[in-house]
Structure 1
Amino acid sequence: MKKYKFLRILFLAATVSLSMGSCSDDFLDQPALGSLSEDVVANKIGVEKLLIGAYAALDGQGLGGGGAWESASDNWVYGSVAGGVASKGSFGGDQPAIDQIVKFISNPSNGFYNSKWIAAYEGIARTNNVLSLLANVEDISEEERSNLAGQARFLRGHYYFELKKMFNMVPWVDENTEDPKQPNDTDIWPNIEADFQFAFDNLPGTQSEFGRANKWAAGAYLGKTYLYQHKFSEASTIFTQVIESGTNSAGEKYDLVAQFEDNFDAETENNAETVFDVQMVANDGTSSIANSNQGGMLNFPYNSPFRCCGFYQPTQDLVNSYKTKSGSGLPFLDNYNQDPVKNDMGVGADEAFTPYTGPVDPRLDWTVGRRGIPYHDWGKHPGAAWIRDQSYGGPYAPKKNIYWQATQDLYSDQSSWAPGTAINVHIIRFADVLLMAAEAEAQTGNLGLAMDYVNRVRERASNPQGFLKAYIDENSPLTGFDESENAANYNIGLYTASEFSSKENALEAIYFERKLELAMEGHRFFDLVRWGIAEETLNEYFEYQGDITTDVRGGKFISGKSEYYPIPQAQIDLSLNSAGEPTLTQNPGY
């Protein structure tokens, strides 16, 4: 089972909101139903319950209507599918609003944007309630007060970071704001910095429950905030502290776990690599999957042991990225789509198929389900039998979100029409920190240290211990995945100084490594935007992938517009001031 006691993110405090209320379709303007007065909750127990409610909002569920996937905490639509590492999947007529988002042809009335906006501001409202109440709570020590305030401001920083990277110009509402209908005409990066800096300065290194943010999670997020603003020197300084001294909330020093896949197994997560996760649980007694990554409920192979629904299919472009050079074991940075990895498009499940035999990075088969390769311990992926429409979404299936057959009774939840899972959603893990630090070091000229950080990630990926054995049950061996017939040809090597001889070369390698290591974790689109290469990369992706699958045909990234999603029209309509004029301004191009 999960290694540490963790904070169970249940909606324990959803009805204990103060008068500022819960953000809903009326943009923070109405009090929550069943709200309690401050004198009832102005104590240690009350503020703790409010803080748990602020953590509960991390998963974005039940906070504003729409499908659970519209406000999923892993941003699989906005970060991965829109970033070209995954197709929407399923078939064209299912959730067509996603097709508009990933082709960058949607408008402000697309309800997905409103759901995401509402979910983030609900989290902000809950953190503000904690901070407002905390000032009047007397039955706690100053150390406890600092810890609670630090956690609340960490969470608020996270929710605003989500809004900033999604929509750019958004209104800042804090515990001192009297009128929540604020304009979105001020850059909020300084406010986000201040929240994470406060959290870093005030949080302890360890917490009573694993799921609570600690000092070092705040430091990592502060570094990420600097990185997004291109404050590379500041980012380098804080990342160095986190790497050298940081621990997870249980006090275990940050490190890469020996096995890459242990980050995506509920049995082995909450480990040395965990910086900050959204904690998921299964079979929690609620008869629902609300706490079991409900936002990802669509993202399991279709017509399979998982029942539903065939979304979130890795792209051919992503799969090709894992090819490696036979000699060095390094990736093909510039021409990875030449000589693509063999797939089973158009090959029936009852027809013979031999998987690709060229050298590949082993992370491919912990990230992507492909025909003929074992799908965890569920047997070999059968290909078309588990794919809803190959011509639309391609031949592949997601894998990082898939629970194991052997432990499904513990870590899957079958309380709904699609599965839930206890596998956590990673907001930041230590491999991410190392690669962000590598980027900061490369940008400031420390190319050797940047290379060391990247190689540390690649060296872990090359660790063969248990990789093949994990697929082989001695009582029922999965023939063909050991060293014999159809064995995957895994080959991964480390960079040398020649590949990191200039800042430009180093950054190209670092950017690509983030694609390989963090694929299907919701980062890709936002990385491309902050690097300034989204237009070139995504339009090349549309051209290449569009020749293979129909889902992205007609997609086009437009510089100056597509970097940010539109402010939801519903929120603009609800932001009217006393003069009948909206206080929110739409992003350029919409």
Structure 2
Amino acid sequence: MKKIILKGTIVTLALTMVTFACKDKFLDVPATGQLASNQLTSKAGLEGILLASYSQLNGRGFSRATSSYNWVRGSVSGGEANKGSNSGDGGGNTNFSTFQRYEILPTNGDINDKWKGMYEGISRANAVLRTLPSAGTDVSDADKKRIAGEARFLRAHYYFELKRSFNMVPYVDETVDYGSGIELVKNDVDIWPKIEADFKFAQDNLPETQAAAGRANKWAAMAYLAKTFLYEKKFAEAKALFDQVIASGQTANGKKYALVANYTDVFNATKDNNEESVFAIQAAVNTGDVSNSAQELDLNFPYNTGSNGPAGCCGFFAPSFELANSFRVDAKGLPLLDGSYNVGANQLKNDQGIDSKAAFTPDAGPVDPRLDWSIGRRGIPYLDWMVHPGLDWIRDQSYAGPFSPKKFVFYRSQDKSLTDGSSWTDGYSAINYNIIRYADVLLMAAEAEIEAGTLEKARTYINQVRTRAANADAWVKTADGKNAANYVISTYTTPFADKTAALNAVRFERKLELSGEGHRFFDLVRWGVAAPVLNAFLSYESQRLPLGYSGAKFTAGKDEYFPIPQVQMDQQQGIFKQNPGY
């Protein structure tokens, strides 16, 4: 790359030599806004640079599409949600509708923000590694080892994001001299080995537990390395690491990694950093800066709720019809893996086109209980706010559909205490986002087991996830304590017939368990099924929301990756190779 700016980290000091008489020494004061080298090499200085790299996890300083949550690319492009709101909202600098229609151009500002945001995180991690050899005497050997491990973990994460978003990207590490007019770096080398090396270093050098919540530890690095192996189809290597994480991973409070008893506790700010959290973006509110919150989610609430609902704005991230239907189950409580959930009476009853004042009875058929912790729908309690009223909470049903996001929404009891009231909306919340959580680990491990031929162990892992969802005490209840819908769920009680059946089960389980969490699009691409699955989704959804989807198409061999941003192509003097199809 021609130039990388280290925003908020190290700046080159220009020293002006001026001679003063002895009596004028009081004029020798440090330059305002700059740090002396001994300040940066102290333990506090190194920790400060490291924390600056952590701060980029939520896309701080860039657009909502930059965050490592990936709700735009992972879930909207993945068919789990519509952009939402109405056709005119979110044009300009956040044109999310292009993500749901696969009409992304190299000039799109959001993809350039994703590129810049990830390289900003990388530059900050590199700054730590470049400064560490000059560490002061207050930095112990153990500190150096831990700090290096965290920096390389973060660098690997940001490159992982770039790799699966853009595929071929330039790689720059801490050995590059940023101040000497560096040589341009091409994007013609596969960086998976570099990502592997960083996660492996982090695994070998990080402690098993950390004193502060949110810092990467040995087990997070191991899980992320195993995830990297899955993307590379190195299933045996992934299985070996997942085995260790499942058997030995420990959280900071000493408990073994486990599934929390209540599914919705994963998305409750009062329950953050629990035993299910392997690595999470930490969110905080009322700190004087809303960028410390879950800032990337500020639009993703029901619309026009007033005092009876959360935030009051803006109706983005509306769950799709197809996703809602996916929670339909058979009489035994198993998902309809044959796709018949989108057919006839199996389709989830909804209130599309029905006024909130008109009578409506919610679907009475059997559904997976995770439906009503994942999707807000009419007639079902919406956390502790009120029963979802339907149309009154939807800005434009003809564009967004009838559903509201629900997973990363704060409770009425948390308003103003776990939300930031200093800005235009209470939508800046303290809810963490788990980049990797234990249920994700179990389902990734199940994939690795299936590829290894151990289908029964995979079934055990899938059933652990389903057993947690079957905890009836945690199902959504009405005001009188009854189940809010006809919830039915069971485990797979008989062996999978073959590898294909097992893969179908685990892939659908990921869709249900992790819906709306930014994984779906990337899963479909790495499985090699994005084109048929997403084109089937577009065909179905466009019949219900023609304003949002009419004419949309996913093109195999092109739409799996973003284009390299045009501004980056231009700045690099033609040495970057553009992705196919753009």
TM-score w.r.t. the length of structure 1 is 0.89
- Are the equivalent residues in 2 in contact too, given 1:451–1:495 (CA < 8 A)? yes
Q: Which runs of 5+ in 1 are unaligned?
A: 1-12, 21-32, 473-477, 577-581
User: Larger deviation: 567-576 or 159-168?
Assistant: 567-576
* Mapped partners of 1:329, 1:176: distance in 2: 53
Please name the residue that 2:575 is paired with: 583
1:153-552 correspondence to structure 2 within 5 Å:
153-178=152-177, 179=182, 181-284=184-287, 286=288, 288-304=289-305, 305=309, 306-338=311-343, 339=345, 340-418=347-425, 419-468=427-476, 471=477, 478=479, 482=482, 487-498=484-495, 500-550=496-546, 551-552=548-549
Question: What amino acid sits opposite 2:127 in the alignment?
Answer: N
- Are the equivalent residues in 2 in contact too, given 1:160–1:192 (CA < 8 A)? yes
* Mapped partners of 1:181, 1:387: distance in 2: 49
Match of 2:69 among 74, 77, 82: 74
* Cα deviation code 1:31-61 (max 9, x no counterpart): xx95545343112111011111111111112
Question: What amino acid sits opposite 1:121 in the alignment?
Answer: Y
Please name the residue that 1:17 is paired with: 10
Question: What amino acid sits opposite 1:110 in the alignment?
Answer: N
Question: What amino acid sits opposite 2:520 in the alignment?
Answer: R
- Are the equivalent residues in 2 in contact too, given 1:200–1:215 (CA < 8 A)? yes
How many residue pairs match? The answer is 543
SS at match of 1:88: strand
* Mapped partners of 1:310, 1:45: distance in 2: 42
| Cα distance change of structure 1 residues 193 and 380 upon mapping to structure 2, 3 Å threshold | same
User: Larger deviation: 233-242 or 567-576?
Assistant: 567-576
* Mapped partners of 1:408, 1:332: distance in 2: 39
* Cα deviation code 1:225-260 (max 9, x no counterpart): 000000000000000000000112443210001110
Match of 1:558 among 555, 569, 573: 555
* Cα deviation code 1:262-303 (max 9, x no counterpart): 00001112100000000001212x1x4211111111111110
SS at match of 1:583: coil
TM-score w.r.t. the length of structure 2 is 0.91
Matched-pair identity in %: 49
- Are the equivalent residues in 1 in contact too, given 2:126–2:173 (CA < 8 A)? yes
Moved >6 Å (runs of 4+): none
Q: Which is richer in helix?
A: 2
* Mapped partners of 2:100, 2:568: distance in 1: 22
- Are the equivalent residues in 1 in contact too, given 2:391–2:402 (CA < 8 A)? yes
SS at match of 2:436: strand
* Cα deviation code 1:73-106 (max 9, x no counterpart): 3111111000000000001111242222221122
User: Larger deviation: 427-436 or 241-250?
Assistant: 241-250
Please name the residue that 2:19 is paired with: none
SS at match of 2:339: coil
Q: Which runs of 5+ in 2 are unaligned?
A: 1-5, 14-31
* Cα deviation code 1:347-385 (max 9, x no counterpart): 101111100010000000000000000000001000000
* Mapped partners of 1:281, 1:138: distance in 2: 31
SS at match of 2:387: coil
* Mapped partners of 1:330, 1:282: distance in 2: 39
| Cα distance change of structure 1 residues 14 and 113 upon mapping to structure 2, 3 Å threshold | closer
- Are the equivalent residues in 1 in contact too, given 2:450–2:503 (CA < 8 A)? yes
* Mapped partners of 2:78, 2:237: distance in 1: 27
* Cα deviation code 1:208-235 (max 9, x no counterpart): 1011000000000000000000000000
* Mapped partners of 1:404, 1:101: distance in 2: 29
- Are the equivalent residues in 2 in contact too, given 1:447–1:501 (CA < 8 A)? no
Please name the residue that 1:9 is paired with: none
* Mapped partners of 2:220, 2:272: distance in 1: 16
User: Larger deviation: 299-308 or 442-451?
Assistant: 299-308
Question: What amino acid sits opposite 1:494 in the alignment?
Answer: T
User: Larger deviation: 77-86 or 139-148?
Assistant: 139-148
* Mapped partners of 2:570, 2:7: distance in 1: 26
* Mapped partners of 2:73, 2:474: distance in 1: 34
Please name the residue that 1:90 is paired with: 85
| Cα distance change of structure 1 residues 548 and 180 upon mapping to structure 2, 3 Å threshold | farther
User: Larger deviation: 548-557 or 419-428?
Assistant: 548-557
SS at match of 2:317: strand
- Are the equivalent residues in 2 in contact too, given 1:330–1:494 (CA < 8 A)? no
* Mapped partners of 2:235, 2:11: distance in 1: 39
- Are the equivalent residues in 1 in contact too, given 2:333–2:368 (CA < 8 A)? no
| Cα distance change of structure 1 residues 293 and 269 upon mapping to structure 2, 3 Å threshold | same
Question: What amino acid sits opposite 1:545 in the alignment?
Answer: E
Question: What amino acid sits opposite 1:514 in the alignment?
Answer: R
